[in-house]
Structure 1
């Protein structure tokens, strides 16, 4: 399946939703496959320019390891939090030394157990990186409780732990530096410890994760520099 990826083919529920098999650019409720730097046979920056969108230069790399990878969630951000019509560039990446693990607290909205990022030496996982405009990052801040007046569930930080490389954008895997990510900011969003161990999202599905019991970890092990909230 190489796109286009309609939102209805990638439902957001159950959390964290399903993810297209390639990098993609999301616009107008559709994900257009991005493979080896090209979208619909155009170079990515040319495709963006033809739509009056910001180029990749100046966009910020933001690791998405939960529902923000999902096309339907992106449309929800547009409709609910004012993400706007600007295309969202979503790159498939392989992380090393970082993992999505289940958080201690459940989501108020639907009772799902959300993901949080943790340092897990030697582990490799597949996630995505948004190449986000500053305005898009401000919307993500609002969504994750990191914006002005938010509840602080997550905090935006620049990662110093782990390694992140693209999977299908250029001629080969390319390291992405200066990546931002939302880390747990309250006890409810610290990693869940079950019998003293964190639980990777890749190992336990959402249905089973909801029923887990344990205690919040003291920390996530991630070395990062917290950034100030962005004003929308």
Structure 2
């Protein structure tokens, strides 16, 4: 059975509110489109080669270039943000508002839908400290393709993600090698893509009968009941980032 948060629905083509995409149960619901998020509202983002940024924002009245939309809010343009793979709850609009209220996330969040090749979101051996739910962790999965997203994060936003993910304790920040392709809806592959992966044995993939369990196959309540052992590693080809990543 496919878990609800990964169900493929019709592409969203109009602005939406957080309440349409609740955070619980983890990893929450996600819109079937790229989007920008601010003030509890998500605005779909569509690829458009005629726009200077390559993307357009769908508002109630117009479809401005993404960089123009960001500029009108005094926000950092797309080309000065660093891409960070999001494969769990950070794709959920209501969770993004939680990052704002609880951890001080500032400015519009740019979340672009992406296809992840030869990687999968799988259930972790550890549990999330704040509510005891089982979180996702990234793992190598040859032959699979999953739909997730890439945050184009400002430096401040990425530091908030560091805090949320428990960087250095539960997760580590890495640069994924190109052997794990990630493609946006416009067909491009983000360069120097960052991701949060398991930092210690307690957060590595949970192995059940010797194999990890994909989040797309078992929902949260079933994941909590899984009985297995932590994997030795995640099989990813990546380089851990020490300190601040180089600016884009």
* TM above 0.5: yes
Q: 2:201 touches 2:233 (CA, 8 Å); kept in 1?
A: no
Residues 59-111 of structure 1, C-alpha deviations (whole Å, 9 max, x = no match): 00000000000111111011100112x10000000010110000001223222
> How far apart are the structure 2 equivalents of 1:103 and 1:3?
34
Give unmatched runs, 5+ long, in structure 1.
Answer: none
Q: 1:214 aligns with which of 228, 231, 236?
A: 228
User: Residues 23-172 of structure 1: matches in 2 within 5 Å?
Assistant: 23-36=34-47, 37-39=55-57, 40=59, 41-84=63-106, 86-146=107-167, 152-160=169-177, 161-167=179-185, 170=186
> How far apart are the structure 2 equivalents of 1:58 and 1:224?
23
C-alpha deviation, 1:117, in angstroms: 0.2
> How far apart are the structure 2 equivalents of 1:126 and 1:162?
14
> How far apart are the structure 2 equivalents of 1:117 and 1:219?
10
> How far apart are the structure 2 equivalents of 1:108 and 1:78?
19
Residues 149-194 of structure 1, C-alpha deviations (whole Å, 9 max, x = no match): xx61000100014100012xx4xx2222211000001222100000
Aligned residue for 2:129, secondary structure, equals: coil
> How far apart are the structure 2 equivalents of 1:112 and 1:183?
17
Matched, 1:176 2:209: no
> How far apart are the structure 2 equivalents of 1:191 and 1:166?
26
Report the more deviating stretch, 44-53 or 105-114: 105-114
User: Where does structure 1 differ by over 6 angstroms across 4 or more consecutive aligned residues?
Assistant: none
Give the TM-score taking structure 1 as reference length: 0.92
Give unmatched runs, 5+ long, in structure 2.
Answer: 1-11, 48-54
> How far apart are the structure 1 equivalents of 2:42 and 2:223?
29
Aligned residue for 2:188, secondary structure, equals: coil
Q: 2:176 touches 2:192 (CA, 8 Å); kept in 1?
A: yes
User: Residues 5-20 of structure 1: matches in 2 within 5 Å?
Assistant: 5-20=16-31
C-alpha deviation, 1:210, in angstroms: 0.5
C-alpha deviation, 1:228, in angstroms: 2.3
Give the TM-score taking structure 2 as reference length: 0.87
Aligned residue for 1:137, secondary structure, equals: helix
